[in-house]
Structure 1
């Protein structure tokens, strides 16, 4: 008999036993859908977590520490540090796979005044403003420009400003303390409204201690050219208590240092150092090229740091998650296979006369076994196809719920997804389950005594 003949016989038997066939197909469909959904969950979680790791851990970035400034966390090289120079920075920018590199110098916490009425504090960092976009900065208003008299503010820097005239009074302090307490305890508050600072000129204030024990306040007027975008789903409480950050150009940072040195009477020789970098951050085109780029930077006698070790350890944990989800799906598929064994065994018992007649007409044991195995395989294929459709419906429903509740905090239109490689794998396991479940009934059918079966029937 040819395979086509086995399929025709099997399909005819499945049509005759519609109820049993439907129950078996439902069992296989549920099992195969479970394994497809389980693998999709594992794949989606891994993809989403990798995306979040890349965003928060900056796995495509390398940090170069200047001298002994900070040890940080992550993977740090054991190369002796000879300091970052402008020549080395330019050389790093020309390395393969390097998208951009920028130096960062922390200026400190400076007070600022806006419109002569509002005041606040900013944690200011000096860097090449033109590179901020390359490092993933997004802007709600404006865009950074390469000038020395400009400043880029975080969204949080536009909230929580105090009135300059009343900020020092006891009443204002009590009101501010009460507001902070209300926010901490989650009491109902009006929505936080940012103060309009875009395109306005603000004054940075830096207090310098003089040699005679007095102090003097230096002012540096700057224009706000960009305000960072507020993070998605960032609560008002988070906005209220987050760090108020800002970025200025290295040229303005040098002006601040020179003005401070002139007022305080410090020797200008300290300003002649080649760089004032705290660290340099290198953006690599792909996380896979970080290790190679890191070695090239270390060859310049620089101390580097990256998060490759964290990414590798977390990737191993995600493999375990995939195995757990896949194992759960296989267990459900195994339970579903029991229904096929029961159904095919009952079919064998009910078809003893048919089997006896086939043996009398010359059918051998192998042909009878193949007939039952092909019949079971057809059940597996039908159940697998139905399971794939059911899995897509389940994933679609979960996506709708997640998007409506916005529980992930991401803007993705599709949170869970089914990769293409999962579909043939789910169909394979469904078909394999059908075949394996039909082996025992097939063997039992082939051992049926023909004369006894015909006489009993």
Structure 2
């Protein structure tokens, strides 16, 4: 018989036994859907976690620490070959796979005044402002530009501003402290209405205690050119109490140092402002190129760090998760195969007369076995197709639940997906389950004695 004849015979038998066929197909469908969903779970969790690791752990970034505590100049005034310099930074920017590189220097916390009525406090970092978007900073207003008279604020820096005159009095400070305690204890809601600072001029203040006991306040007027986005999922309380971050140019940071040195008479940081920074962040085009680029940077006599080791550790853990999910799916498929063996064995018993007649008419053992195996394979194909459709429905339902329960928005909630490579694998296991489940009934059918079967009927 030709293969087409086997398929025709098998399909005819499946149509005759609709109930048994439906039950077998449902068993394989559930098993193959379990395989597909399990592999999709592992793949989706791995993909989503890798994406989150890349965002939070910055696995595609390299941090370079200054070995002189933040200055590229040695204590004796001579350039230290192990320190961070503008020349080395320019060399790093020219390395292969480097997307961006920027220096960062901590300027400290400074209060500011806006509109002569409101005051706030920000922690200031000096960096090349135009590089902030390269390192994951997003802005809801404005765009950072490299100028010395501008400032970039985080969203949290626009929240929690106080009345300037009231904050100078003891009563005002007590009132602010009491408000913070009420928010911590849950008696009050955190006020999170942002103050409109975009494109406004604010005055940074630097208070210096002089040796003679007097106090001098320096002011540095700057214009707000960009305000960062609020982090998704951050609570109102988190916004109110989180760090108020601000970014200025290295040139403005040097102006602040020079002004402070002129008042105190101390030379705090000598040298070119372009060489005075604490760390350098390097963005790599792909995490796979981090290790190679890290070695090139170390050849410049610089100390580096990255999160590759943590990523590798977590990747091994995700591989274990995939194995567990896949094993669970295989177990369910194995349970489903038992029902097929039982159904096909019962079918063999019911079809003894048919088998006996086929043998009398000249059918050999191989043809009898092939007929049952093809019939089982057809069950596997139908069960596999039904299982794939069922798996898509399950994944869709999970995503709907995530969308409804995730306050951050539907785009971030749809993390479950089925990769294309999973589909043929699911079909393969479904067909193999059908074929393997049909081998025993096929062997039993081929051993049926023709004359005995016909006489019993």
SS across alignment from 1:226:
strand
Corresponding position of 2:140: 140
> Does the Cα contact within 8 Å between 2:233 and 2:408 map onto a contact in 1?
no
Unaligned runs of 5+ residues in structure 2 are 71-79
Corresponding position of 1:218: 218
- Which residues of 2 match residues 170-181 of structure 1 at below 5 A? 170-181=170-181
Corresponding position of 2:237: 237
Give CA-to-partner distance per residue, 1:251-298, whole Å, 9 cap, x none. 000100100110001137734587211000011111111111111111
SS across alignment from 2:219:
strand
> Does the Cα contact within 8 Å between 1:152 and 1:225 map onto a contact in 2?
yes
> Does the Cα contact within 8 Å between 1:211 and 1:265 map onto a contact in 2?
no
Moved more, 261-270 or 302-311: 261-270
SS across alignment from 2:414:
coil
> CA distance change for structure 1 residues 215 and 412 in 2, over 3 Å: closer, same or farther?
same
Corresponding position of 1:151: 151
Corresponding position of 2:74: none
SS across alignment from 2:21:
helix
Moved more, 363-372 or 342-351: 363-372
Corresponding position of 1:261: 261
Q: CA deviation at 1:440?
A: 1.1
Q: CA deviation at 1:110?
A: 0.8
> CA distance change for structure 1 residues 229 and 363 in 2, over 3 Å: closer, same or farther?
same
Give CA-to-partner distance per residue, 1:339-364, whole Å, 9 cap, x none. 10111011011011111111122222
Q: CA deviation at 1:329?
A: 1.0
CA distance in 1, matches of 2:91, 2:39: 45
SS across alignment from 2:203:
strand
TM-score, normalized by length of structure 2? 0.94
Give CA-to-partner distance per residue, 1:12-63, whole Å, 9 cap, x none. 1000001100111011111111111111111111111010000001111111
> CA distance change for structure 1 residues 164 and 407 in 2, over 3 Å: closer, same or farther?
closer
SS across alignment from 1:199:
coil
Q: Does 1:27 align with 2:27?
A: yes
> CA distance change for structure 1 residues 171 and 269 in 2, over 3 Å: closer, same or farther?
closer
SS across alignment from 2:275:
coil
Give CA-to-partner distance per residue, 1:55-90, whole Å, 9 cap, x none. 0011111110001549xxxxxxxxx98011111111
> Does the Cα contact within 8 Å between 1:81 and 1:303 map onto a contact in 2?
no
> Does the Cα contact within 8 Å between 1:66 and 1:81 map onto a contact in 2?
no
Q: CA deviation at 1:420?
A: 0.3
CA distance in 2, matches of 1:194, 1:178: 21
* Paired residue total: 448
Moved more, 411-420 or 124-133: 411-420
CA distance in 2, matches of 1:105, 1:123: 11
Give CA-to-partner distance per residue, 1:238-257, whole Å, 9 cap, x none. 10111000000000001001
> CA distance change for structure 1 residues 186 and 10 in 2, over 3 Å: closer, same or farther?
farther
Corresponding position of 1:93: 93
Q: CA deviation at 1:400?
A: 1.6
CA distance in 2, matches of 1:187, 1:269: 47
> CA distance change for structure 1 residues 200 and 187 in 2, over 3 Å: closer, same or farther?
same
Q: Does 1:318 align with 2:310?
A: no
Corresponding position of 1:386: 386
> CA distance change for structure 1 residues 186 and 46 in 2, over 3 Å: closer, same or farther?
farther
CA distance in 2, matches of 1:148, 1:273: 12
Q: Does 1:429 align with 2:452?
A: no
CA distance in 1, matches of 2:395, 2:91: 49
Give CA-to-partner distance per residue, 1:193-212, whole Å, 9 cap, x none. 00111111111111223233
- Which residues of 2 match residues 17-416 of structure 1 at below 5 A? 17-67=17-67, 69=69, 82-187=82-187, 189=189, 192-267=192-267, 270-271=270-271, 275-406=275-406, 411-412=411-412, 414-416=414-416
CA distance in 2, matches of 1:68, 1:428: 61
Unaligned runs of 5+ residues in structure 1 are 71-79
Give CA-to-partner distance per residue, 1:410-448, whole Å, 9 cap, x none. 734732111000000000000011111111111111111
CA distance in 1, matches of 2:102, 2:51: 23
| Aligned-residue CA RMSD (Å) | 1.9
> CA distance change for structure 1 residues 325 and 149 in 2, over 3 Å: closer, same or farther?
same
CA distance in 2, matches of 1:405, 1:317: 26
> Does the Cα contact within 8 Å between 2:111 and 2:206 map onto a contact in 1?
yes
Corresponding position of 1:8: 8
> CA distance change for structure 1 residues 179 and 211 in 2, over 3 Å: closer, same or farther?
closer
> Does the Cα contact within 8 Å between 2:141 and 2:198 map onto a contact in 1?
yes
Give CA-to-partner distance per residue, 1:148-202, whole Å, 9 cap, x none. 0100000000011111111244543443334323433445627620011111111
Moved more, 169-178 or 386-395: 169-178
